[in-house]
């Protein structure tokens, strides 16, 4: 579920930080452009208004200069309007000399405060100032709907991003649900096609492993039940026949003969039951592998010495250097013993064993000159209680050896492959195991 957690964290960070930063940048950029336009427009309008006021003030100053009743004119000027007039002696209006020179030369003086804009005009005839006062112009308020629009757009973008993230997750969960439902209804071949990009990839892989494990267990149970029903029926019938015969037979020699046959049949049944129990114990949940570096050359030599037969020629090809395998020694001994035992049972006269290194693995090959295994039988031959059909010998056993080999190989994260030997023309088993 690590991919799900990381993807959820990424979506949250992108939605909250990335989108917020993006919309904030858009808003600031728009606001700056809007303010610049507003300021430019305001300055233009203000300059136009001041130009008009200068013209009005100039005309008023000229008019008042020739009037005798100037104050009466000022008093009659309406005080409720936006343009106010008043007269002020120049002596009561201290100014720097430079501004005073400009003012007396006929240039109007503009003074602006937060509350008003004042234009001062010099009346040379009376040494007074005509003051025109008007309130300042206010800039238009920025668009108050813009923040609301950008906020709404932000949440819509977050919602869209979450939907885009949730769609593949919901799709994969629906697929998992449908597959699990079909599997629970008895279709044990159901598996999930795991994509390269999936939030629940780990969960899908675990489901496939679980499904495969259940499928293998059900298959083993079917094979075990069929094997038990087939292999136990014959010795039981012979035992019943022997018991019935002994009950009717008075000859001590014949009675002893039938008793020996009954004993042999009982031994056969005991061997079968022990094979069943041995395979049942080979469940990964019931064992613990004690993995350690194993000298595989030494292990093979030990197995060959224990299995050697005088009438069978065995050749061994191994590297000069030491070959170490990461595995459980006891189970690797069982693996090699079963492979050699299978080769001895089905060969005519020759067996070839080789060990080769390939990257981080070793490949152990056991070949014989027997009849070989048909391609259509190679997958089935690795299942319990399945035996080769093309053997010229009546080989005693229950078809458990290769099934045990396959399970031990899986425990060690290796693989097994069955081919026909190029040189000996018989069966060839190639087992790949990881090196230390």
Domain that holds residue 160: 145-214
Kindly state the average pLDDT of the residues 317-346: 91
What is the pLDDT of the chain when averaged over all its residues? Answer: 80
Boundary of a domain, candidates 134, 168, 197: 134
With a cut of 70, say whether residue 39 has pLDDT above it. no
Residues 95, 168 within the same domain: no
Residues 277, 292 within the same domain: no
| CB contact set of 146 (below 8 Å; sequence gap of 6+) | 27, 30, 31
- The answer to whether residue 129 sits within a structural domain is yes
pLDDT at 393: 47
- Written in H, E and C, the secondary structure of 55-91 is HHHHHHHHHHHCCCCHHHHHHCCCCCCCCEEEEEEHH
Residues 272, 295 within the same domain: no
- The answer to whether residue 125 sits within a structural domain is yes
pLDDT at 323: 92
Boundary of a domain, candidates 112, 134, 156: 134
Boundary of a domain, candidates 115, 134, 153: 134
Higher pLDDT, 152 or 228: 152
pLDDT at 431: 96
User: How many Å apart are CA 362 and CA 294, to the nearest integer?
Assistant: 12
Which residues partner with 84 through β-bridges? 133
Number of domains in the chain: 4
Q: Map residue 425 onto helix, strand or coil.
A: coil
User: How many Å apart are CA 137 and CA 134, to the nearest integer?
Assistant: 9
331: nearest Cα among 274, 279, 405, 429: 405
Residues 123, 239 within the same domain: no
Residues 117, 36 within the same domain: yes
Kindly state the average pLDDT of the residues 376-394: 71
By mean pLDDT, which of 17-21, 87-91, 163-167, 349-353 is the weakest? Answer: 17-21
Residues 151, 126 within the same domain: no
- The answer to whether residue 21 sits within a structural domain is yes
Residues 308, 401 within the same domain: yes
Which residues partner with 427 through β-bridges? 420
Where are any strands of DSSP class E within 336-400? 350-358, 361-368
Q: Read off the CATH number of the domain in which 409 is found.
A: 3.30.565.10
Residues 338, 422 within the same domain: yes
Q: Best-predicted range by mean pLDDT among 59-68, 140-149, 223-232, 274-283?
A: 59-68
With a cut of 60, say whether residue 142 has pLDDT above it. no
Kindly state the average pLDDT of the residues 19-38: 66
With a cut of 50, say whether residue 200 has pLDDT above it. yes
- The answer to whether residue 224 sits within a structural domain is no
Kindly state the average pLDDT of the residues 156-176: 77
Percent of the chain with pLDDT over 90: 17
Task: Please write the tens of the pLDDT for every residue from 251-299.
Answer: 888 888 888 888 887 887 787 777 677 666 665 555 677 889 999 999 9
Kindly state the average pLDDT of the residues 378-394: 69
- The answer to whether residue 223 sits within a structural domain is no
Residues 56, 172 within the same domain: no
pLDDT at 361: 93
- Give 286's DSSP letter: G
Higher pLDDT, 32 or 424: 424
Q: Read off the CATH number of the domain in which 120 is found.
A: 3.30.450
- The answer to whether residue 139 sits within a structural domain is no
Residues 347, 366 within the same domain: yes
- The answer to whether residue 273 sits within a structural domain is yes
In contact, 227 and 398? CB cutoff 8 Å: yes
| CB contact set of 384 (below 8 Å; sequence gap of 6+) | 220, 223, 224, 227, 279, 399, 400, 403
Residue 373, number of CB atoms within 10 A of its CB? 23
Which residues partner with 364 through β-bridges? 355, 431
- The answer to whether residue 221 sits within a structural domain is no
Residues 60, 121 within the same domain: yes
Task: Please write the tens of the pLDDT for every residue from 230-250.
Answer: 667 777 887 888 888 888 877
pLDDT at 392: 43
In contact, 325 and 433? CB cutoff 8 Å: yes
User: How many Å apart are CA 385 and CA 209, to the nearest integer?
Assistant: 24
Task: Please write the tens of the pLDDT for every residue from 247-263.
Answer: 887 788 888 888 888 88
Higher pLDDT, 123 or 230: 123
Residues 268, 343 within the same domain: no
């Amino acid at each position: 579920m690590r991919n799900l957690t990381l993807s959820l964290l990424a979506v949250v960070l992108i939605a909250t930080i990335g989108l917020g930063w993006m919309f904030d940048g858009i808003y600031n950029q728009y606001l700056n452009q809007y303010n610049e336009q507003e300021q430019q427009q305001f300055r233009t309008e203000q300059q136009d208004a001041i130009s008009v006021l200068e013209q009005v003030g100039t005309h008023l100053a000229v008019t008042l200069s020739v009037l005798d009743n100037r104050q009466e004119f000022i008093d009659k000027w309406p005080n409720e309007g936006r343009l106010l007039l008043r007269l002020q002696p120049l002596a009561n209006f201290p100014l720097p000399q430079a501004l005073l020179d400009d003012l007396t030369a006929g240039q109007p003086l503009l003074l602006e405060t937060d509350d008003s804009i004042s234009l001062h005009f010099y009346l040379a005839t009376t040494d007074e100032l005509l003051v025109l006062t008007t309130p300042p112009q206010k800039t238009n308020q920025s668009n108050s709907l813009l923040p609301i629009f950008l906020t709404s757009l932000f949440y819509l973008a977050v919602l869209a991003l979450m939907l885009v993230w949730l769609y593949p997750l919901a799709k994969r969960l629906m697929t998992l649900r449908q597959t699990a439902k079909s599997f629970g209804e008895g279709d044990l071949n159901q598996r999930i096609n795991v994509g390269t990009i999936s939030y629940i990839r780990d969960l899908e892989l675990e489901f496939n492993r679980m499904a495969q494990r259940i499928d293998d267990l059900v298959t083993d149970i079917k094979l075990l039940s069929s094997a038990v029903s087939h292999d136990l029926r014959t010795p039981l019938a012979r035992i019943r026949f022997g018991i019935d015969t002994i009950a009717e037979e008075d000859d001590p020699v014949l009675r002893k003969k039938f008793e020996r046959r009954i004993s042999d049949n009982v031994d056969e049944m005991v061997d079968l039951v022990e094979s069943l129990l041995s395979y049942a114990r080979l469940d990964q949940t019931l064992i613990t592998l004690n993995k350690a570096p194993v000298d595989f050359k030494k292990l093979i030599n030990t197995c060959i010495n224990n299995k050697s037969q005088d009438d069978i020629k065995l050749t061994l090809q191994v590297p000069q250097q030491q070959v170490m395998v990461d595995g459980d020694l006891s189970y690797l001994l069982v693996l090699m013993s079963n492979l050699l035992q299978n080769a001895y049972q089905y060969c005519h006269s020759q067996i070839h064993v080789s060990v080769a290194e390939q990257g981080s693995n070793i490949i152990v090959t056991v070949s014989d000159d027997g009849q070989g295994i048909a391609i259509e039988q190679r997958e089935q031959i690795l299942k319990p209680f399945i035996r080769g059909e093309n053997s010229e010998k009546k080989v005693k056993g229950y078809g458990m050896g290769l099934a045990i080999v396959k399970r031990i190989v899986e425990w060690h994260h290796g693989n097994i492959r069955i081919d026909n030997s190029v040189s000996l023309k018989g069966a060839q088993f190639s087992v790949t195991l990881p090196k230390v």
